[in-house]
Amino acid sequence: MKKALSKLAVKVLNKSLRAEADSACALLGYQPRMPETVKKFKKEKK
Protein backbone atom coordinates (compact mmCIF):
# COMPACT_ATOMS: atom_id res chain seq x y z
CA MET A 1 0.00 0.00 0.00
CA LYS A 2 2.78 2.41 1.00
CA LYS A 3 4.68 1.54 -2.16
CA ALA A 4 1.60 2.14 -4.31
CA LEU A 5 1.02 5.52 -2.68
CA SER A 6 4.66 6.48 -3.20
CA LYS A 7 4.43 5.54 -6.88
CA LEU A 8 1.26 7.59 -7.20
CA ALA A 9 3.01 10.54 -5.56
CA VAL A 10 5.91 10.20 -8.02
CA LYS A 11 3.46 10.18 -10.93
CA VAL A 12 1.82 13.39 -9.65
CA LEU A 13 5.25 14.95 -9.11
CA ASN A 14 6.33 14.00 -12.66
CA LYS A 15 3.30 15.82 -14.06
CA SER A 16 3.91 18.83 -11.85
CA LEU A 17 7.60 19.01 -12.81
CA ARG A 18 6.77 18.81 -16.51
CA ALA A 19 4.26 21.65 -16.04
CA GLU A 20 6.83 23.73 -14.16
CA ALA A 21 9.47 23.20 -16.83
CA ASP A 22 6.84 24.25 -19.37
CA SER A 23 6.08 27.55 -17.59
CA ALA A 24 7.95 30.83 -17.48
CA CYS A 25 7.55 30.89 -13.68
CA ALA A 26 5.54 29.49 -10.82
CA LEU A 27 1.88 30.34 -11.16
CA LEU A 28 1.49 32.66 -8.20
CA GLY A 29 3.26 32.93 -4.93
CA TYR A 30 6.88 32.20 -4.19
CA GLN A 31 9.20 30.99 -6.93
CA PRO A 32 11.61 28.45 -5.42
CA ARG A 33 14.99 28.08 -7.14
CA MET A 34 14.42 25.68 -10.01
CA PRO A 35 17.25 23.14 -10.33
CA GLU A 36 18.65 22.63 -13.84
CA THR A 37 17.84 18.93 -13.43
CA VAL A 38 14.14 19.78 -13.82
CA LYS A 39 14.73 20.83 -17.44
CA LYS A 40 16.67 17.66 -18.23
CA PHE A 41 14.00 15.74 -16.41
CA LYS A 42 11.36 17.20 -18.71
CA LYS A 43 13.27 16.24 -21.86
CA GLU A 44 14.02 12.74 -20.59
CA LYS A 45 10.53 12.00 -19.34
CA LYS A 46 8.74 13.17 -22.53
Interface contacts to another protein, rule CB under 8 A: 2-3, 6-7, 9-10, 12-13, 16-17, 20, 22-39, 41
CB 19 → another protein: shortest distance, Å? 8
CB 46 → another protein: shortest distance, Å? 14
The residue among 2, 40, 4, 42 whose CA lies nearest residue 20 is: 42
The residue among 23, 17, 26 whose CA lies nearest residue 45 is: 17
Assign 38 to helix, strand or coil.
Answer: helix
CB 28 → another protein: shortest distance, Å? 4
